[in-house]
A and B are shown apart, each in its own frame.
Chain A
Amino acid sequence: METRELTCIGCPMGCQLTVTLDGGEVTEVKGNTCAKGDIYARKEVVNPTRIVTSTIKIKGGDKERVSVKTANDIPKSKIFEVMKDIDAAEATAPARIGDVLIKNVAGTGVDVIATRNIEAV
């Protein structure tokens, strides 16, 4: 048996949640005032994920940096590995919103895509 403390992000209440795990399975969520907290806690302790947003250096464009995001959620534990790949990458203008700039970032199976248009100059 293991317990984990979380703050719910469902609303400004920010309920302090206590999640009890048994062998990796959630057995109980306490402290939530509504169903949102229960759903959030179960996902957050078993499989926390995040979208990562950053910028990539871009050559030959009307801007120095192109903003990017992971096309889908990636495991929270992989955030810094994803950032390492993003920091090492360099793109070439032009770029359109949605263009894939890094394929399968940090082995997550998720691509990194442009979130703004950069014109070639």
Chain B
Amino acid sequence: MKTYDIVIVGGGPAGLAAAVAAREAGNDSILILERDHELGGILNQCIHNGFGLHTFKEELTGPEYAYRFIKQVLDLGIEYRLNTMVMDIASDKTVTAMNSEDGMFRIPAKAVILAMGCRERPRGALNIPGYRPAGIFSAGTAQRLVNIEGYMPGREVVILGSGDIGLIMARRMTLEGARVKVVAELMPYSGGLKRNIVQCLNDYGIPLKLSHTVVDIEGRDHISAVTIAEVGPGKKPIPGTEERYTCDTLLLSCGLIPENELSRSAGVQMSPVTSGPVVNESLETNIPGVFACGNVLHVHDLVDYVSEEAKRAGQNAVKYISGGCKDAESSEVIELVATEGARYTVPGTINRERMDDLLTVRFRVGDVYKNSFVSVYFDDERVVHNEKRILAPGEMEQIILQKKKLLEYPNLKKITVKIEKE
């Protein structure tokens, strides 16, 4: 088996953009490993439009957006292996993978880019009472069945969770003739984009019940009905609020979890908040030369941001190989802290010597905040105070740090991001 400088694990939007950027930065020894039979990742089944407004200034569908990057990978002659499963990443950056043509093989890479994406939270992680019959799907599974395979999972649908994939599937199944009876959301707000609530639910008269959850599932072999109830304090169902819906399908759209089994076994330090790696300003993990980008790092709501982030990971991997990513003196490392409403930041640390002139720091809030401020403190001094009419957990936020501003604070140890009322 040939050896490569850079091995990219995953051929979805993150892996593709990282590969293109690494090639354009001058490296021509790149391999993408993809477990599916085609490049493009989850975008291939996201046939709705709305992708690429930031990157291409037009509204593309998922497959079109993916193809923009696939074409660049092909045109640049970047190598990739399909139907290939990465089994292990060692801390010395040896990647072990297998497929039915090459068998098991090892690549001692100089840099590894983690771009494995995420998966949906399954029923087993949701603690829904009731029987375990057929007819219960994650929203993404239903999306694959309808859009790729051309099968309808059912005709009478209830959806638990108001994540974007669930909302998109409510519309998709309605268009294909199914009756979507209700979307129940445990939280008092939706995790999906406002545009999707209006154009996927309101357009078709599908009710969204906030602070509601499924309390019973009926059906021995196949699901026949669910009961939903309102929840009160502590997310406990309120007796007397139960409503029964007959259905043949229950879709679950209850959040996404970065897929980091490989990262963990490699010894990558993980964030308990994002379930993704902790990275520095270069998107590098605690293992030098191992980078992470896209939904494996933290779950994004726009693919445009994934592409932008992955581009930086690709560029930094090339920089690392050419010796331009020196290990930081610990005195130069600034810690980023998210608190008081801000749940996490990516990156988690900044080496100011290595940072670009402008650094985008992304974060999410833990609740809905109206008429509040996003504040950034350099140690104890407030340096950013941006008023925001609304902040919501479903929408990723960002602040941009300037290197020259950081250099004005030579003793800076800690940058804090928080949400303030005034």
Interface residues, chain A, CB within 8 Å of chain B?
Answer: 7-9, 11-14, 33, 50-55, 57, 63-65, 67-69, 76, 79-80, 83, 87, 97, 115-117
Contacts and interface: CB of A to CB of B under 8 A. Distances in A.
Interface of B: 44, 47-49, 59-61, 63-64, 67, 146-150, 175-176, 193-195, 197-199, 202-203, 389-392, 394-395
A55 B390 contact: no
A8 B193 CA distance: 12
Contact of B389 (A8, A13, A117): A13
Given A14-B197, A115-B61, A67 B47 contact: yes
B67 A54 contact: no
B61 A67 contact: yes
Contacts of B64: 97, 115-116
A12 B394 contact: yes
A64 B150 contact: yes
B148 A65 contact: yes
Contact of A69 (B61, B175, B389, B394): B61
Contact of A55 (B147, B193, B195, B392): B147
A13 B47 CA distance: 27
19 contacts: A11-B194, A11-B390, A12-B390, A50-B203, A51-B59, A64-B149, A64-B150, A65-B148, A67-B61, A67-B147, A69-B47, A69-B49, A76-B203, A80-B175, A83-B175, A83-B176, A97-B67, A116-B63, A117-B67
A83 to B, nearest CB: 5
A83 B203 CA distance: 15
Contacts of B390: 11-13
Contact of A7 (B147, B176, B202): B202
Contacts of A97: 63-64, 67
A74 to B, nearest CB: 13
B198 A7 contact: yes
Nearest to B67: A97
B44 A65 contact: no
Contacts of B44: 116
A115 B61 CA distance: 7
A51 B64 CA distance: 15
Most buried by A among B64, B148, B197: B64
Given A12-B391, A115-B63, 14 more contacts: A12-B194, A14-B194, A51-B59, A52-B175, A54-B47, A54-B176, A55-B47, A63-B148, A64-B149, A67-B147, A83-B176, A97-B64, A116-B44, A116-B63
A117 B47 CA distance: 13
B175 A54 contact: yes
A116 to B, nearest CB: 4
A13 B197 CA distance: 12
Contacts of B67: 97, 116-117
A53 B48 contact: yes
Contacts of B194: 7-9, 11-14
Nearest to A80: B175
A45 B203 CA distance: 13
Nearest to B202: A7
Contact of B199 (A12, A33, A50, A65): A50
Contacts of A117: 67
Nearest to A10: B194
A55 to B, nearest CB: 6
Contacts of B175: 52, 54, 79-80, 83
A104 to B, nearest CB: 20
Nearest to B394: A12
Contacts of B389: 11, 13, 33
